[in-house]
Chains A and B, each alone.
Chain A
Amino acid sequence: MAMARSFDLGRFLRREESKGLALIAPPFVYALLLLAAPLAAIVLFSFWTQDFMTINRTFTLDNYREALSDPLYMELLSRSLRISLAVTAITVLLAFPVAYFVSFHVAPERKSLWLFLITIPFWTSYLIRVFLWRVILAYDGPVNGTLLGLGLIEEPLAWILYSANSVVITLAHAYAPFAILPIFVSLEKIDRALHEAGRDLGESRVMVFLRVTLPLAMPGVLAAVLIVFIPTIGDYVTPRLVGGSDGTMIANMIQTQFMRLNNAPMGATLSVLAMLMVGIVSLVMIVLTMRWTGGGKSK
């Protein structure tokens, strides 16, 4: 009896399971073929070498040795890391007050209008937006014009275009909604009664923010950090259009290796190194945040 019942239950579960698996199969197989296989190919390529058009398939670590000892590659990797860390910090710091404003100071029925207002500029052509930053930051552009007109500077600032600075400004603009939205979502989840409780217990506004709001918003802040940090390291367009030679990043070198120098294995090696760097830094950020918020709980 019991055997028969558990057998039926097992069959029922398998039916349920196989239905789910059958449904998920098409997108999953697609991702296996077009994502897992190509990524595996990139890793494989990084252990090969290329001489003009022929690829030498003997396993070697030469590419990694060369990449890690060449000052140019190392500079590009570390600069990409520096730039995207700066972009992440600036974007998230600038975005937090905006998300806070929309969540705490805007009437509930007008919140989606505000979010809509924030996202509209980002549905315009990415290329054209980046190009327009080149116009805005130009030597004779509106930023320098305004500052000159206000008498704040004597002569146009040259360092704001074709440098790492312009890359940071442009990317901080490009990724703004990706930072605002997750922070907003986590702020929305905070129980408003906690604030009143904090205030009633005699904490100042600032202390309530530091001890209640900020720790509870951390998951959203972490999500924002990762969503901005991961793709910016691989950005190609912004460094090309506004970066000049000081703002070139690793994606530009990867493109050069694949398309110009015909050195796919070195391009693959640099891609793997960039992915490793992104992965490690992201993991460190996740662990640090978990420890910080976890530490707050145990106190």
Chain B
Amino acid sequence: MKGQGLKAYVILYLVFLYAPILLLPMFAFNSGTVIAFPLQGFTTGWFVEVFTTKALIEATRNSVFIAVSVAILSTCFGLFAARAATRYNFPAKGGILGFVMLPLVLPEIIVAVSLLVVLIQAGLSTGIWSVIAGHVLICTPFSIAILQGSFANMDKSLEEAAVDLGETPLSTFRLVTLPLVAPGIIASLLICFTISLDEFIIAFFLSGNEPTLPVYIWGLLRFPARVPVIMALGTLLVALSIILLITAEYFRRRGLRRAGKRDVGGFL
């Protein structure tokens, strides 16, 4: 009886969670230009417009370039930090790691305005590169969290065996460590890519005249006639991120299997 009530509540809660993304495709295929009920006819015209709007394609190109750079840089930093955290002891370890993880709990607007102030004072212009710099700051903690899991799951004796068998530290890392943490690296790349692609506040302050996709969407939201195009774009993005997530989850599980661990939950 009690279990049934709880289950009913959880299902209601899932409806609440899914409400916005269920509406998204409805309006994306709706021929009416006003985002309201009742729905009008069926159209795929908004999707055509997504692929023919030049400014949108430009913004997407900026965003993808930024997200790829951020994914690579953050994952490199993540590898350094996660390796140091799981393998070595050094002075002020907790403090240093805590500080690197700090952006995780800092309101993003604070990160954004503080970077903006410094850039302006230094006389530097804002643009794609400053967005990359800001995003690396907020993505690195996520990368560290993911990779720390991979490194912690790894059997230390495998590396020691390689060294005993005459491999140099570098070749040990390349031949033994890297393949074992590879699934974690792929998961980290995908998560950082997704976070950067969706990040708005830092890009809003630091993109200058090179808008990212969220900054472009923000500008469009003011024009009601353009909103259906955003709905079509949103539908495409949802599909894309679900595919990315399933891929990341697949690699994470494969990594767990390789390390010989049982699966105990998902991301984060």
Q: Which of B18, B90, B107 contacts A233 (CB 8 A)?
A: B107
Say if the beta carbon of A37 comes within 8 Å of chain B.
Answer: yes
Q: Which of B87, B93, B100, B265 has the most CB of A within 10 A?
A: B265
A130 to chain B, nearest CB (A): 8
A65 to chain B, nearest CB (A): 21
Question: In the bound complex, how far is the Cα of B87 from the Cα of A176, in angstroms?
Answer: 34
| A101 & B20 in contact (Cβ 8 Å cutoff) | no
Within 8 A of B (CB), among A155-170: none
A37 to chain B, nearest CB (A): 6
| A42 & B37 in contact (Cβ 8 Å cutoff) | no
Within 8 A of A (CB), among B199-233: 200-201, 204-205, 214, 217-218, 221, 227, 230-231
| B7 & A236 in contact (Cβ 8 Å cutoff) | no
Say if the beta carbon of A141 comes within 8 Å of chain B.
Answer: yes
Say if the beta carbon of A62 comes within 8 Å of chain B.
Answer: no
- Known A24-B96, A35-B103, A231-B107; judge A123-B241 contact (CB<8 A): yes
| B241 & A271 in contact (Cβ 8 Å cutoff) | no
Say if the beta carbon of B6 comes within 8 Å of chain A.
Answer: yes
Q: How would residues 96 to 135 of chain B score, 1 for a CB under 8 Å from any chain A CB and 0 otherwise? A: 1101101101111111011111101100000000000110
Within 8 A of B (CB), among A105-123: 105, 111-112, 115-121, 123
- Known A97-B6, A121-B18; judge A27-B105 contact (CB<8 A): no
Segment from B48-56, B77-85, B174-182 that makes contact with A: B77-85
Q: Which residue of A lies closest to B88 (CB)?
A: A20
Q: Which of A34, A136, A234 contacts B109 (CB 8 A)?
A: A234
- Known A20-B84, A20-B89, A116-B266; judge A127-B221 contact (CB<8 A): yes
Say if the beta carbon of B17 comes within 8 Å of chain A.
Answer: yes
| A35 & B137 in contact (Cβ 8 Å cutoff) | yes
| A141 & B103 in contact (Cβ 8 Å cutoff) | no
| B107 & A234 in contact (Cβ 8 Å cutoff) | yes
Q: Which residue of B lies closest to A250 (CB)?
A: B109
Say if the beta carbon of B249 comes within 8 Å of chain A.
Answer: yes
Q: Is the interface of B mostly helix, strand, loop or mixed?
A: helix
B76 partner residues in chain A, CB cutoff 8 A: 26
| B20 & A112 in contact (Cβ 8 Å cutoff) | no
Say if the beta carbon of B35 comes within 8 Å of chain A.
Answer: yes
Question: In the bound complex, how far is the Cα of B133 from the Cα of A233, in angstroms?
Answer: 24
Within 8 A of A (CB), among B1-47: 2-3, 6-7, 9-10, 13-14, 16-21, 23-24, 27, 35-37
- Known A31-B137, A127-B217; judge A230-B107 contact (CB<8 A): yes
Say if the beta carbon of A297 comes within 8 Å of chain B.
Answer: no
| B20 & A129 in contact (Cβ 8 Å cutoff) | yes
Question: In the bound complex, how far is the Cα of B267 from the Cα of A117, in angstroms?
Answer: 12
Q: Which residue of A lies closest to B195 (CB)?
A: A123
Question: In the bound complex, how far is the Cα of B267 from the Cα of A34, in angstroms?
Answer: 27
Question: In the bound complex, how far is the Cα of B200 from the Cα of A290, in angstroms?
Answer: 35
Question: In the bound complex, how far is the Cα of B265 from the Cα of A111, in angstroms?
Answer: 7
Between A and B, 23 residue pairs with Cβ closer than 8 Å are: A23-B81, A24-B80, A24-B84, A26-B76, A28-B96, A30-B140, A34-B134, A36-B99, A42-B113, A112-B265, A112-B266, A119-B266, A119-B268, A123-B198, A124-B24, A124-B234, A125-B237, A173-B17, A234-B109, A237-B201, A241-B221, A268-B113, A275-B110
Contacts from B to A (Cβ < 8 Å): 2-3, 6-7, 9-10, 13-14, 16-21, 23-24, 27, 35-37, 76-78, 80-81, 83-85, 87-91, 93, 96-97, 99-100, 102-103, 105-111, 113-118, 120-121, 133-134, 136-137, 140, 144, 194, 198, 200-201, 204-205, 214, 217-218, 221, 227, 230-231, 234, 237-238, 241-242, 244-245, 249, 263-268
Contacts A17-B90, A31-B99, A138-B36 known; list 4 others, CB within 8 Å. Answer: A17-B91, A127-B200, A237-B201, A255-B113
Contacts from A to B (Cβ < 8 Å): 16-21, 23-28, 30-31, 34-39, 41-42, 45, 94, 97-98, 100-102, 105, 111-112, 115-121, 123-129, 131-133, 135-136, 138, 140-142, 145, 173, 176-177, 181, 184-185, 188, 205, 226-227, 230-231, 233-237, 241, 251, 254-255, 258-259, 264, 267-268, 271, 274-275, 278
